Amino acid sequence: MEGDDDMAVEQTEHALQEGVNPVEIVKQAIVPGIERTGELWKDNVYFMPDVVLSTEAFKMAMSVVEPTLSEIETDKTGRFVMGVVAGDMHDLGKSIVIAMLTGAGFEVIDLGVDVPTEVFIEKAQSLNPDIMGVGCYMTTTMLELKDVMRKLKENGLRDKLKVMIGGVPTTQTFADEIGADAWGKDALDAAEKAKKIMGV
């Protein structure tokens, strides 16, 4: 939370060496850490540089635990392709959602940030995901979500996958308006709804 990435790596390695279940490390330490950062940001205790430092520590800790997560998750819940809309570089929310989905047993393919609509379409075709997650973090990039939905339909892909959306300016009402299958309030909500979609 305090952005000490060396310590984040050391503590994660230490927990793994001690035999702590990697899913529990994500659920009980790494995710709560970044969620607390989000709360401190909301309460005006943390400023943007603090948030950026916390993210770096979050990512470093995740990089230690991720290889072990994919080793133990042999029985996948489903395939989830995730990306952030064009023009939007925010990736903290996406990283947390990916961590939670991985913990829930999904095979997650991360398309990254600033993803053009065409790439979402191309990946929907080539990767054949069960669910496509689209993140959007600014009011100025919300129209891109509509564009992704429209192009999925135009390319005959809409009935082949479920679409989940999320990010600060999005709401359930907006999700309904653009015809998304689900909206995730936070990472936990996202993982629960994704599991529900898969019937788990």
Q: Considering beta carbons, is residue 94 or 123 the nearer one to ligand B12?
A: 94
- Assess contact for 175 and 182: CB atoms under 8 A: yes
SS3 154: helix
Residue 179, both tokens: 């015809």
- Assess contact for 132 and 161: CB atoms under 8 A: yes
Is 143 among the residues that bind ligand B12 (CB under 6 A)? no
- Assess contact for 81 and 132: CB atoms under 8 A: yes
Q: Considering beta carbons, is residue 13 or 168 the nearer one to ligand B12?
A: 168
Q: Considering beta carbons, is residue 115 or 187 the nearer one to ligand B12?
A: 187
10 Å Cβ neighbour count for 53? 17
Is 144 among the residues that bind ligand B12 (CB under 6 A)? no
Among 3, 103, 129, 166, binds ligand B12 (CB under 6 A): 166
Strand ranges inside 116-198, DSSP E: 131-135, 162-166, 182-184
Q: Considering beta carbons, is residue 64 or 92 the nearer one to ligand B12?
A: 92
Is 138 among the residues that bind ligand B12 (CB under 6 A)? yes
* Residues in contact with ligand B12 by the rule CB under 6 A: 38, 41, 48, 51-52, 55, 87-94, 96-97, 133-135, 137-140, 164-169, 184, 186-187, 190
